[in-house]
Structures are given as C-alpha cells and as structure tokens.
Amino acid sequence: MTRIAVLGAGKIGEALLAGLLAAGRSPGDLVFTERHPERSAELTARLGVAGVDVAAAAAHAEIVVIAVKPQDVVPVLAELAGVVRPGTLVVSLCAGVPLAVVEGALPAGTAAVRVMPNTPMLVGEAMSALSGGAHSSEEQLAAVEEMLRAVGRVVRVPESQQDAVTALSGSGPAYFFFLVEAMIDAGILLGLPRAVAADLIVQSAFGAALMLRESDDHPVILREAVTSPAGTTIAAIRELEKHGVRAALIAAIEAARDRSVELGRAAAGR
C-alpha cells in the first residue's frame, strides 16, 4: 500500500493517522513528524506509528501530508524541499495556503494537492475538498481521495473555490457549535437543567443532520415540515428573521472567506 508521512501531529494530523489505521492501513506504512518529543512518544505508544524527522519522513513516503498551521507552512516547506524525492506527492492541509506557494517552495515538477478538511475528521466524519496542482495526475488525485475517505467524505473543487470551501465547511463546525451553545443557553433560560437542554439539542442536531444527508428534500422543505400554521416554530422563525440571523450567517462566512484569502497572501509573502 502507499506509504504516507504526516508532517505535524496536531489534532488533524493525529485524526488522519487514526482514521487510516482504522481503515486497515499498517502502522509500518505510516510515519509522522512532531516537534514536541513528549507528544511524539505518546502518539507512538498509542498508535504504533513511528515519529521521525522530516528527512526520514520524506525518505519513507510516497505521499507527504503537511498538516501544520498556515503560519508554520513556509519553514516546513523549506525543510522538505531539500529532502523530498522525485515522484513524491505533497498534500497540503493548510488553510488558505495556495498551491503556488507549495509548488514554488519545492523542486520543479513536484506534484502537489491542496485539501481543506474540517475537525469532524476526529470522529471519522470530515468533509474534505481537494484541488489538484499543476503536476498532479489523475492517479495521484484518486490516491488522495482514497486516503481522505478513511476519515469522511471528499469532493473535488477548482482551487479558485478553496477559500469559499474554507469559510463554509472548514470553519463550518464552529458555526454549528455556536448555534448549539446558544440554544442550550435558551433552554436554561426557559428553566431546563443544562444537562437536559444539552441532550435535547445535541440529539436534535444529530437527527436533523441525518435527515439533511439522507433526504433528497431541500432544507426549506424539511424546515417547512416542522413549521405548522400559527404554531410555535413559525413564531421562532419570525424572530430569527427579524434579528437578521440569515444575513448575519452570510456575512460571517464572507468574512471567513476574506480571512482565508489574507492567510494565503501572507504565506505567499504578499
């Protein structure tokens, strides 16, 4: 099987390793890098995957996954550039970082793919979007899709859409957490114990998400099915519209898109 190295073993890097192992990958086909020795030793003990330096990772792998914060990607690329082998595929999970930055830092002709995952990768339910670079082949894109399916779902998009993806699904879980937090507070305000309010809302969110994924109906249809004439739900919807919740969400996602663009420019030194 394809050997994979994950540069950066934070939450996303660890989740990818754990997902690949759960999907049947051998620990011997995987390595990772981690700058904190204690963290590296703990992961090796728990996952059975070796922690190595960047040079050893590049020598081991056919796919090198960069899973560091955007502000840390330039030094990692500089280190990788001196040791990456011809034919290696480099996959960037760094939010906002354009493929031009990755390809420009690596030896000419190096194949690269840009991916925007999200934190539900931690429970095997990520939504990831990938974009191929100038030198990535169809076979390599398919290999990245196979890798990402071990931790959730995956779609292909043009790189020009990646900043929008970052704003919508990359940051998306935080919007749902924010909404659930507010709804739990509302339950407490209405006199429910916090634990009961949390259980009611989390299960409602889980069930609603399943309905959205498994139904062919538009969200409007699903929402209207709950909204009886002169009932409680329409009264709540009226208040949400009155307070501009829909417009606020759209503006928030636009702001996240703009920040993704800024991060890309900073990584490119512009």
68 annotated to bind ligand: yes
User: Which parts of the chain are beta strand (E)?
Assistant: 4-7, 30-33, 50-51, 63-66, 89-92, 111-116, 126-132, 152-156
Question: Does 242 show up as a binding residue in the annotation?
Answer: no
Q: Flag whether 198 is marked binding.
A: no
Across the beta sheet with 126-132, the strand order is: 50-51, 30-33, 4-7, 63-66, 89-92, 111-116, 126-132, 152-156
What are the distances in angstroms from CA 63 to CA 68, 74, 124?
16, 19, 20
Tell me the C-alpha distance between 82 and 59, whole Å.
11
The answer to the question of whether 67 is labelled as a binding residue is: yes
Cβ neighbors of 183 (< 8 A, separation 6 or more) are 197, 201
Task: Please work out, in degrees rounded to the nearest 5, the angle formed at the alpha carbon of residue 220 by the alpha carbons of 217 and 226.
Answer: 95
CA distances in angstroms from 4 to 1, 63, 96, listed in the order given: 9, 5, 23
Detail the residues annotated as belonging to a binding site.
67-70
Detail the residues annotated as belonging to a binding site for NADP(+).
67-70
